[in-house]
Structure 1
Amino acid sequence: MIGVGPFPIQVFTIIGAVLLGWMTARFVARRMPEVSYKTAGSMILDAVVWGLLAARLIYIAQWWDEYSAKPMSMLAIGDRGFSWWAGIVVAVAYIWWRTRLTQALRGPVLAGVMVGVVAWAVAGGVLNLMQSSAPPLPDLQLATLDERSISLSAYAGRPIVLNLWASWCPPCRREMPVFEQAQTEFPGVAFVLVNQGENPKQAQAFLESEGLKLTDILLDPASELMRLMGSRGLPTTLFFDAQGRMVDSHLGEITMPSLKDKILRRFDRSSVSGTGK
């Protein structure tokens, strides 16, 4: 997994793109005597705020059934649930409206938006290339709750959602019902939840206290999987296709809309429903 400290690298690509767009708008505006470079920079930041808000609201609308079932999850922006291109359209429309009376300002601000979007798109492409070279599903020996040995390779041949968790981790505890629901809705996907660093009694006691019925709970008492996959914290959710290639990852608590979105975008729809061959 790629990141800086406990934060996914995508957060820093967005911040970097916004900063580059802000600098570009100010730079272009400085060369236009009739335009205030401070106003140009400020308008970029305002457009980012409105664009982010619109991107989040539109994403929530797309997944309304899931968010409405758990309204507080609408505030969980850490699930990275944003409709980015819709947000960009709203940001540009906001700039167009704000500059209707000062059209000389429109050029520098839109130039900033263009540079920021291009930088963000290029960074996203580079990250996708790096993701494609991520380590495959490891052939690691783990244990079941009744302490039988099992290898992760036993799940090969179908899509896998691999979650790394611990009972002492609050976001891990909060997202467990999400996986319980998902394993019913997507029977073709293996939801493998690997406990990190705890013994069978600790893991079992937590599952029983929460009344969770999860089918594939494994134990990794040495937290070897975190090291192999380069995870920087818990919870971590990794997505592997039927060939064992990692196609996506998520650091931190994941919500049902975000989980469904990734599954439907990354996996073949016939395989996730259990009808694929």
Structure 2
Amino acid sequence: MSSSLQIGPFALPWALLLMVLAVLAGNTLGRRVGRAQGIDPEPQAFRVLLLALLVARLAFVWPYRGLYLDEPWRLIDIRDGGWNAQAGLIAGWIATAVWAQRRPQLRRPLLASVGLTSLVWLIGSGLLLWQRPTDQRLPALTLNDLQGRPVALAGLNGQPTVVNLWATWCPPCRREMPVLADAQARHPGVRFVFVNQGEPPATVQAYLASQGLHLDQVLIDPRSTLGAGLGQRALPTTVFLDARGRVVTQRIGELSPATLADKLAELGPALLPSSSAPPP
């Protein structure tokens, strides 16, 4: 099963769709319970949701706060997918308990709303984790680099590896490329591979030269075979592999310095500089 729902050229991560479904289910149940009591719990439920989202974002940002100093605007740029869902869930329940204590008439509909939202999210997250392949590897493909030399993807083992699927026409790919280029220079113990999807070498070379990007291991995938083999048509997609060549995690969408550091941490905290590594 792919980690996203593909609708034409669009890809929606299942985790995002699960959160939307959980909120809708909880909101619907809360309204029904509140209607039976003649009250409207939606304003308070909406405040709980906003607080939970704010705490989830801040809980992710705090361990990587040093990475936001140069570009503080990234704090509110949620396109990078940086959230701590567990912290948000805890904050939501604390807020629910406080408001239910202060306004007893809202207790039942608010508890119903937050309870069902939490239950749907927990069960759905468990199912997504359960269906995730335990020994997924890159397809057995051979692609050419910019000099026309063949590179076998099956040979990309022996050290942690980050494989980025991108294209020059893709805006989020263009935004995250300097982040990945900087990480390649900072982490010599990690292999970074940039697999262009569907463009000729001349286009890729011209783009890299125009942006002043100096990347190692740029491969050309003219038919987007790797993306199809991974079940991902969305760009950018970044796959993180351990030293044995097994897929540990992946990110569909743009990476910021903080979300890249967070994904690299799953390959091993020793790979990260102390200023960006999360606390134990």
After TM superposition, the score normalised by the length of structure 1 is 0.88
- 1:14 is aligned, of 3, 9, 19, to 19
Q: CA deviation at 1:100?
A: 3.6
**3-state secondary structure, aligned to 2:226:** helix
Q: Distance in 2 between matches of 1:213 and 1:40?
A: 55
One-letter code aligned to 2:244: Q
Give the Cα–Cα distance (whole angstroms) in 1 for the partners of residues 189 and 118 of structure 2.
37
Q: How does 1:129-168 map to 2 (within 5 A)?
A: 129-132=130-133, 135-168=136-169
Does the Cα contact within 8 Å between 1:165 and 1:195 map onto a contact in 2?
Answer: yes
SS at match of 2:245: coil
Counterpart for residue 249 of structure 1: 250
> Residue type matched to 1:255 in 2?
S
Q: CA deviation at 1:14?
A: 0.2
Q: Is the 8 A contact 1:143 1:150 kept in 2?
A: yes
Q: Which amino acid aligns with 1:204?
A: Q
Q: Which amino acid is the alignment partner of residue 12 of structure 1? A: L
- Mapped contact 1:131–1:246 kept (Cα < 8 A): no
Gaps of 5+ in 2: 273-280
Structure 1 residues 231-255: Cα deviation after superposition (integer angstroms, max 9, x where no partner): 1221111122223222222112111
CA drift at 1:30? 4.6
Describe the shift of the 1:86–1:21 C-alpha distance in structure 2 as closer, same or farther (beyond 3 A): same
2:242–2:267 CA contact under 8 A, matched in 1? yes
Question: Aligned partners of 1:134, 1:26: CA distance in 2, in Å?
Answer: 43
Asked if structure 2 preserves the Cα contact closer than 8 Å seen for 1:145 and 1:219, the reply is: yes
Three-state SS of the structure 2 residue aligned to 1:234 is coil
Tell me if the contact between 2:100 and 2:110 (Cα under 8 Å) persists in the aligned partners: no
Question: 2:87 is matched with which residue?
Answer: 86
Alignment partners' CA distance in 1, 2:126 and 2:102: 37
Matches within 5 A, 1:40-119: 40-119=41-120
Question: Which range moved further: 178-187 or 126-135?
Answer: 126-135
Structure 1 counterpart of 2:14, one-letter code:
I
Is the CA contact (8 Å cut-off) linking 1:21 and 1:44 kept in structure 2? Answer: no
CA contact (8 A) 2:164 2:237 kept: yes
Q: Deviations over 1:138-182 (max 9, x none)?
A: 221001111111111221122221101111212111111111121
Partner of 2:269: 269
The structural deviation recorded for 1:52 is 0.7
Identity between Structure 1 and Structure 2 (%): 36
In the TM superposition, structure 1's runs of 4+ consecutive aligned residues that sit over 6 Å from their partners are none
Q: Distance in 1 between matches of 2:24 and 2:135?
A: 28
**Separation (CA, whole Å) in 1 of partners of 2:232 and 2:59:** 30
Q: Partners of 1:186 and 1:127 in 2: how far apart?
A: 30
What displacement does 1:110 show?
2.2
After superposition, the C-alpha distances for 1:159-207 in whole angstroms (9 at most, x for unaligned) are: 2211011112121111111111212333222111101111222111111
Q: Which residue of 1 aligns with 2:278?
A: none
* Counterpart-to-counterpart distance in 1, 2:50 and 2:242: 35
Unaligned runs of 5+ residues in structure 1 are none
CA contact (8 A) 1:131 1:248 kept: no
> Cα distance, 1:44 vs. partner?
1.8
AA partner of residue 61 (structure 1)? W
Look up the match of 1:220. 221
Report the Cα distance in structure 1 between the residues aligned to 2:120 and 2:248, rounded to whole angstroms.
22
Structure 2 CA distance for aligned equivalents of residues 117 and 247 of structure 1: 26
- DSSP 3-state at the match of 1:250: strand
Instruction: Note the alpha carbon deviations across 1:26-45, whole angstroms, 9 max, x for none.
Output: 344455x4x62xx2233222
CA distance in 1, matches of 2:269, 2:93: 34
Moved more, 177-186 or 10-19: 177-186
Aligned equivalents of 1:165 and 1:262: distance in 2? 18
Q: C-alpha distance in 1, partners of 2:28/2:178?
A: 44
Does the CA-based 8 Å contact 1:131-1:247 persist in structure 2? no
- Scaled by the length of structure 2, what TM-score is found? 0.87
